[in-house]
Structure 1
Amino acid sequence: MTSIFDICLFLTLFQIKHYLGDFQLQTGWIAKNKGRYGHPSGIVHAGVHGALSLPILLWFAMPWELALGLALAEIAVHYHIDWAKARRVAQEGVTETDPRFWHYLGLDQAAHQLTYIALLAVAASRAA
């Protein structure tokens, strides 16, 4: 992956994947329980993200083992980002009408986007 087209396609696919995983496929059960460490809902949610990432990583001619390792790493990172945000929001009793909620949501989303940039860096360094 060296062309600007490949880089843009990679990031675009991860944006679509993120939208699907974080907004379309997230249920009330998941959203309600992500702040409870080890609760199955957060694991399922992060697993959905990893499962959606795997075909993208494979598309870019990554070896199966590396793609799987990166997808598993994303699961772990995604889980902990979401858990930390949900826990902080719950600890502070923040609701959607409080500006702090939106600050935490923005930080959460930025952390996920930085994760995708890190995945891109690994993919690009492998292709170099």
Structure 2
Amino acid sequence: MPDYVGSILLLLGLLQFKHMFADFYMQTQKMLSGRGIYFHMGRAQHAGVHVIGSFLVFLIFHTPMWFILVICALEWFIHFNIDYCKACYSESKQLMPNMAEFWRAMGTDQALHHFTYLAMVWAWMEYTVI
């Protein structure tokens, strides 16, 4: 396997590992409550936790700082808005974990986040790897 393929897989794997911890282990009550309000500080903090993790992952790969700052700003904006859309949808439908539609919303949310990581890895390859 070419070295760059291993690097791509490792970068993607680390971003997904970071995602698991930021989304499921590091959320506070403030981050989880009131998510249907657009300018919600808890959601902003949650997206910030994701950005800190991505910042560290890209540092491990000796990624140029200009790229890290741009990609993390984009990730923050995208993550913030994906979570907002899921919160609005879930609240409007009054979804609960015992409902199949709750899990479809959760799965769509998670898939969109992981597609974001695929785009981030593509951008890393396109703009930083020679």
Equivalent pair of 1:35/1:82 in contact (CA under 8 Å): no
User: How far does the alpha carbon of each residue in 1:8-46 deviate from its partner, in whole angstroms, 9 at most, with x for none?
Assistant: 110110111001100110122211222211110000000
Aligned to 2:108: 107
The one-letter code sitting in structure 2 at the alignment partner of 1:111 is: L
* In 2, Cα distance between equivalents of 1:109 and 1:33: 20
Structure 1 unaligned segments of length 5 or more: list them. Answer: none
Q: Which runs of 5+ in 2 are unaligned?
A: none
Quick one: distance in 1 between partners of 2:33 and 2:92?
14
Task: Encode CA deviations 1:46-100: one digit per residue, 9 max, x unaligned.
Answer: 0110111001112222210111111111000000000100110001111111110
Aligned to 2:51: 50
Measure the CA separation in 1 of the matches of 2:87 and 2:60.
32
The count of residues paired between Structure 1 and Structure 2 equals 128
Ranked by relative contact order (alpha carbons within 8 Å, sequence separation 6 or more), the top structure is: 1
Partner residue, 1:122: 123
TM-score (norm 2): 0.93
| Counterpart position of 1:75 | 76
Corresponding residue of 1:6: 7
Identical positions, percent: 31
- Measured in 2, the distance between the counterparts of 1:34 and 1:52 equals 21
Q: CA RMSD in A?
A: 1.4
Poorly superposed stretches of 4+, deviation over 3 Å: none
Task: Return the letter of the residue paired with 2:86.
Answer: K
Q: Matches of residues 90-105 of structure 1 in structure 2 within 5 Å?
A: 90-105=91-106
Q: Shift of residue 3 of structure 1? A: 1.5
1:16 and 2:24 equivalent? no
